Amino acid sequence: DTKRVVNFNPGPAKLPESVMRQAQAEFLNYDGLGISVMEMSHRSTEFMNIMSETKNTLIRLLNIPDNYKIMFLQGGATGQFSALPLNLIRRSPNSSADYIVTGTWSAKAVKEAEKYGNINVVHPKLKKYSRIPDETEWNLDPEAAYVYYCDNETANGVEFPFVPETGNVPLIADMSSNILSRPFDITKFGAIIAGAQKNIGCAGVTLVIIREDLIGYSMKECPVVLDYKTQIGMNSLYNTPPSYSIYLMGLVLDWIQQNGGVMGMAKKCVQKSQLIYTTIAESDGFYSCLVESGARSRMNVTFRIGGPGGDEALEKEFVEEAKKANMLGIKGHRSVGGIRVSLYNAVTVEEVQSLVRLMESFRQARQ
Ligand code: PMP
């Protein structure tokens, strides 16, 4: 049975159907080799080709210049937000780094980084994760090893509408849940980390893009698999890479390329998220988004039902009605509650329209 439902999962999340079909068609016998990519040596010419094609497509899609290096690593974004201080904090004379905390994931990154250095959260702590703290309140340290932020907070539905300005201090972003959903100027960044399982593939591989001059500062305690100098020197092949996940990422990147590239994705993301935000705005308070208008995510739309505090019984009912209509994955993050609809690249406008219709009929039946 190949029946598919509408999948609004926050990650792992929906993949383009054509990608899944191609992976299926090639699953047992890749390119006439008589074996699966899963069964292939990671040092074989065929796998090397998969890896270099994946990398080249990424370079084209994001306009990545030569002085940036790309790694395909294990450990997830969580592994990588630990790897960052291990690799970079020694750049600062007093092992310090600046963090902007706009949601659960940047908060977790701080907790991890505190194990390795002096971490400064650059703004007054937010009571609620519903906005980007005003830039005029940021207290940036010119001697910090780097400034870290999360471009899109998946659980809270908070997304940066701008790239923070950090002068000469390298800016590092966790783009796990919005990479390749809008164009950005990579030269404004020292490094970018992104788990694949939302916008660019399946779980298992984490993308790291880093400016060359930031490599070579790792602490001696840094595990070798997380050491950027070693991994870059070995083209991400110091140990066995997540080979099948890299292959699948390659297929997703090709699909992005064929569907209008990053600009194509960006247009769709705005369209999809606006459909829901407009429905919320026109609901006479039945639905409410608690994120301030300038910080609302195009990828993860979070809202409450039955007023700003949320009526949990009503929200549960909505999740159940959605399930009956074959729409999955809209229950809010356990730390946030309410509803969260994730609109990654593979989710179609038609799928979002079907949810919006449900939101309207659900409200009309109760208001
Ligand atoms: N950062 C962000 C923005 C995320 O959304 C997630 C996963 N939901 C993570 C980090 C953690 O990723 P992983 O589970 O791959 O470690």
Supply the DSSP string of 258-297, one letter for each residue: HTTHHHHHHHHHHHHHHHHHHHHHTSTTSEE--S-GGGB-
3-state secondary structure 113-147: HCCCCEEEECCCCCCCCCCCCCHHHCCCCCCCCCE
Q: Whose CA is nearest to atom 14 of ligand 1?
A: 76
Nearest CA to ligand 1 atom 5: 154
Mind listing the pLDDT tens digit for each residue in 34-44? 999 999 999 99
Atom of ligand 1 nearest to the CA of 206: 15
User: Where residue 336 falls among pLDDT bands split at 50, 70, 90?
Assistant: very high
Residue 2: what pLDDT? 76
**Computed from CA positions of residues 135, 207, 78, 93, in that sequence, does the dihedral angle turn out positive or negative?**
negative
Q: How many helices (H) and strands (E) does the chain have?
A: 9, 14
Q: Is 159 in the pocket of ligand 1 (CB under 6 A)?
A: no
Confidence of residue 302 (pLDDT cuts 50, 70, 90): very high
Q: What is the pLDDT of residue 337?
A: 94
- Judge whether 273 and 197 are in contact, CB under 8 Å: no
C-beta 96 within 6 A of ligand 1: no
Query: pTM for the whole thing?
Result: 0.98
d(CA 186, CA 182): 12
State whether the beta carbon of 148 lies less than 6 angstroms from ligand 1.
no
Give pLDDT, residue 166: 97
Distance of CA 343 to the CA centre of its chain: 12
So what's the pLDDT on residue 18? 97
Cα distance between residue 192 and residue 204, in whole Å:
17
**Fold that domain 17-258 belongs to in CATH:** Aspartate Aminotransferase; domain 2 (3.40.640)
Tokens, residue 11: 């990650």
Q: Is the CB of 77 under 6 A from ligand 1?
A: yes
Q: What pLDDT does 303 receive?
A: 98
pLDDT digit string (tens) for 12-29?
A: 999 999 999 999 999 999
Distance separating alpha carbons of residues 223 and 16, to the nearest angstrom: 35
Q: What is the rounded distance in angstroms from the CA atom of residue 332 to the CA atom of residue 176?
A: 18
- Residues 222-246 have a mean pLDDT of 97
* End-to-end C-alpha distance for the chain, whole angstroms: 39
Of 55, 69, 105, 268, which is the active-site residue?
Answer: 105
239-268: pLDDT as tens digits: 999 999 999 999 999 999 999 999 999 999
Joined tokens for residue 297: 């995510």
Give the residue-averaged pLDDT of 172-199: 98
> Which is nearest to 8 in space by CA: 336, 365, 363, 325?
325
- With a pLDDT cut of 70, the percent of the chain lying above it is 100
pLDDT tens across 62-99, in order?
Answer: 999 999 999 999 999 999 999 999 999 999 999 999 99
Name the E strands within 201-268: 206-211
- What are the backbone dihedrals phi and psi of residue 28, each rounded to the nearest 5 degrees, phi first? -85, -30
Name the DSSP letter for residue 23.
H
What number of residues does the chain have?
Answer: 367
Residue 174 is among the residues annotated as catalytic for this protein: yes
Ligand 1 mean position to 31 CA, how many Å? 33
Q: Averaged over 130-137, what is the pLDDT?
A: 95
pLDDT at 367: 82
- Phi, then psi, of 47 in degrees rounded to 5: -70, -35
Beta strand spans in the chain (E) = 6-7, 68-73, 96-99, 118-121, 147-150, 152-153, 158-159, 171-174, 191-195, 206-211, 287-288, 300-305, 327-328, 339-342
Instruction: Give me the mean pLDDT over the 97-108 stretch.
Output: 98
> 55, 69, 198, 331: which is the annotated catalytic residue?
198
ipTM for the assembly: 0.99
CA dihedral 46, 50, 52, 58 (to 10 degrees): 170
Which among 161, 196, 157 has a CA at the least distance from the CA of 176?
Answer: 196
Query: Cβ distance 106 to 159 under 8 Å?
Result: no
Domains 17-258 and 261-366 share a fold: no
CB atoms within 10 A of CB 270: 13
Which of 3.40.1080.20, 1.10.10.60, 3.40.630.10, 3.90.1150.10 is the CATH number of 261-366? Answer: 3.90.1150.10
Q: Is the per-residue pLDDT at 1 higher than 80? A: no
Give the DSSP letter of residue 89: G
Q: Catalytic: 98?
A: no
Extents of the domains making up the chain: 17-258, 261-366
What's residue 137's pLDDT? 92
* 48 pLDDT more than 80: yes
